[in-house]
Structure 1
Amino acid sequence: MASNAFANYSLEGRTAIVTGAAGGIGSAITERLGSLGATVVLADVTGRVVDAAKEWSDKGFKTKGVKVDVTNSADVEKAAARLNEEFGAIDILVANAGISYESTTADHSDEDWRRCMSINLDGIFFCVRSFGKRMVERRRGSVVCISSIAGIKAVRPELHAGYDVSKAGVAHLCRVVGVEWAPYNVRVNAVGPGYTETEMLKKVGAAQPEIMATWINDTPMKRLLQPAEIAASVAFLASDAASGITGHVLMTDAGYSAS
């Protein structure tokens, strides 16, 4: 029984695509999925993913790097068609690409608002639609999108309405599509990371230590999350261990959203 339970976590024989895979949480997700046996396609708007894929390959992982602009629906559709043909199927989509801008609402520019929505929400929708519809046709697959604590509750003291609203949209997109595609054995879920120790977050904390102190004090576990902890939640939802879960937002936030 225990052996079968552990087997449910295996991703052997499956192919996953991870967007925004060039670094940070995306890199941790790549490592976790690859360590569970998946072939991982690293996708990013920069060419860095090609080099990153080679580095993972040199470590024994089955990886491929592709340049994809998630804000361009035609580019996403072309990539989905090409990769499904090349690998036979893309079994797992992890829609991770995202950005953030710090700004008060009164000063939030049109350009920053639209860019947040374009990458964080439109880009995830385009990926879910193009990769997910092929899963629906095959009647199997798992989609995991990255939302945020900021998509569930108002955070402080940082101010970034565009980011917050886009991540709330991601969470609800997964609920809506998770229910729609449930009859086709295609599961759609989200992970909501808390404050996670990425290079970007460390730079903010170094420049504004008072903000870092607030983040940690407001988090019940009194610490930052590690990228590997976010990746573990993603891998769980992607695997058969989560076969009965769809339309769910798994908060991996050290208790922040519950407090």
Structure 2
Amino acid sequence: MSARLFARALLAPRALVPAHAPRALPAPRFLVGAHARWSSQVAHKARKEKFLHDFSMAGKVALVTGGARGLGNEFCRAFIRSGCTSLAIVDLKEDEATESAKALIAEACTGSDMDPADYSVIGIGCDVSSELSVQQAFRRVMDTYGRVDSVVASAGIVENYAAFDYPFDRIKRLYDINVHGAFFTAREAARNMIPQGGGAIVLVASMSANIVNIPQPQTPYNAAKAAVKHMAASLAVEWAKKGVRVNCLSPGYMLTKLTKTILAHDEELKRTWESLTPMGRMGEPEDLSGAIVFLASDASRFMTGSEIRVDGGYCCV
């Protein structure tokens, strides 16, 4: 089109609505109310009867390290609520893992048609920093269930020391748990998954793998979580053709019971963290439920070597 014709097209008057054309009238109030009631009823039925089955954890055997408390326990709860009935809660102290298993079963049966006998949730004591201990934990899982489909390496610790003051034994312990523990867990998971045709592994890193937290000093922790993030990508490529997917979940500041206890004595730190988060708040543990189920279920079956950040937008700024 020539410049002259283009200019004429721009200046051409728009078609006018005839004065006699009927106008749309607002819906009567009683119809709006009726639609709201109908919509609510339909939504209730849809929640009960319609959902994407790929997100279901029914029929899958899951294992979560660090599952007795904190975020690991929330991951276990999310799996149970998504239909998982075979779950191994792995933590340092077996009695705490076992108590957590009993509590999850009781919670799952409250207000439900399910019976405690419908669940097989076991607690296993394991020091993830020990390769032998991790191997023994997986052996118990395989002896109990015969397979393992979804594994979450959630066990980890964080400490705050200035770099000049950080004791070496504390650095070594942090790396043994956060990095070596994640590697031992992923490796044993893959060894058992490959013969059965595959599975899903989720390594729990942190937004600290991508940014430097302030004001608290935690260089070894940040570096360890960066290692976990890249470990997930590296293992994903190594095992991709063997049917084993490895992805990474990176939470932001989450209000676990431990974090709440710490912040109760430091309101200024809480305000600082919230002000640095674009959403203006810290996350609740259940804010991670959808992401962990997505990564551990068939819903993410063509996804491997990826990271999902759940941080309220912290890493965007």
Question: TM-score range with shorter-chain normalisation?
Answer: over 0.9
**Mapped partners of 1:54, 1:201: distance in 2:** 24
Q: Deviations over 1:129-186 (max 9, x none)?
A: 1112211222210001110011111111111111111111110000000111111121
Aligned to 1:44: 91
Q: Deviations over 1:67-119 (max 9, x none)?
A: 11111101111221221132010111010000011111111110110011011
Aligned to 1:34: 80
| Aligned partners of 1:22 and 1:49 also within 8 Å | yes
Aligned to 1:54: 102
User: Larger deviation: 15-24 or 82-91?
Assistant: 82-91
**Mapped partners of 2:261, 2:55: distance in 1:** 34
Q: Deviations over 1:214-239 (max 9, x none)?
A: 11001010011111112321111011
Residue aligned with 1:157, SS = coil
**Mapped partners of 2:262, 2:79: distance in 1:** 29
Q: Deviations over 1:44-82 (max 9, x none)?
A: 001201111112223335411111111110111122122
Aligned to 1:160: 218
Aligned to 2:43: none
| Aligned partners of 1:20 and 1:96 also within 8 Å | yes
| Aligned partners of 1:102 and 1:158 also within 8 Å | yes
Structure 1 unmatched ranges of 5 or more: none
| Aligned partners of 1:196 and 1:226 also within 8 Å | yes
Pairing partner for 2:69 from 20, 23, 34: 23
Aligned to 2:195: 137
Pairing partner for 1:66 from 112, 116, 124: 124
| Aligned partners of 1:120 and 1:166 also within 8 Å | yes
Q: Which amino acid aligns with 2:190?
A: G
**Mapped partners of 1:86, 1:192: distance in 2:** 31
Residue aligned with 2:290, SS = helix
1:26 Cα deviation (Å)? 1.3
Percent identity between matched residues is 30
Residue aligned with 2:203, SS = strand
Specify which structure has the bigger relative contact order, considering alpha-carbon pairs within 8 angstroms and separated by 6 or more residues: 1
| Aligned partners of 1:104 and 1:160 also within 8 Å | yes
Q: Which amino acid aligns with 1:184?
A: K
Indicate yes or no: 2:136 matched with 1:89. no
- Report matched runs for 1:1-259 at 5 Å: 6-38=52-84, 39-46=86-93, 47-59=95-107, 60=109, 61-259=119-317
Q: Deviations over 1:179-228 (max 9, x none)?
A: 11111121100100000001121122222222111110010100111111
**Mapped partners of 1:110, 1:224: distance in 2:** 31
**Mapped partners of 2:316, 2:240: distance in 1:** 27
| Aligned partners of 1:142 and 1:238 also within 8 Å | yes
Residue aligned with 1:207, SS = coil
RMSD: 1.6
Q: Which amino acid aligns with 1:49?
A: A
Q: TM-score, normalised by structure 1?
A: 0.95
Q: TM-score, normalised by structure 2?
A: 0.78
**Mapped partners of 1:212, 1:183: distance in 2:** 44
**Mapped partners of 2:155, 2:290: distance in 1:** 17
Number of matched pairs: 258
1:5 Cα deviation (Å)? 6.3
| Aligned partners of 1:18 and 1:30 also within 8 Å | yes
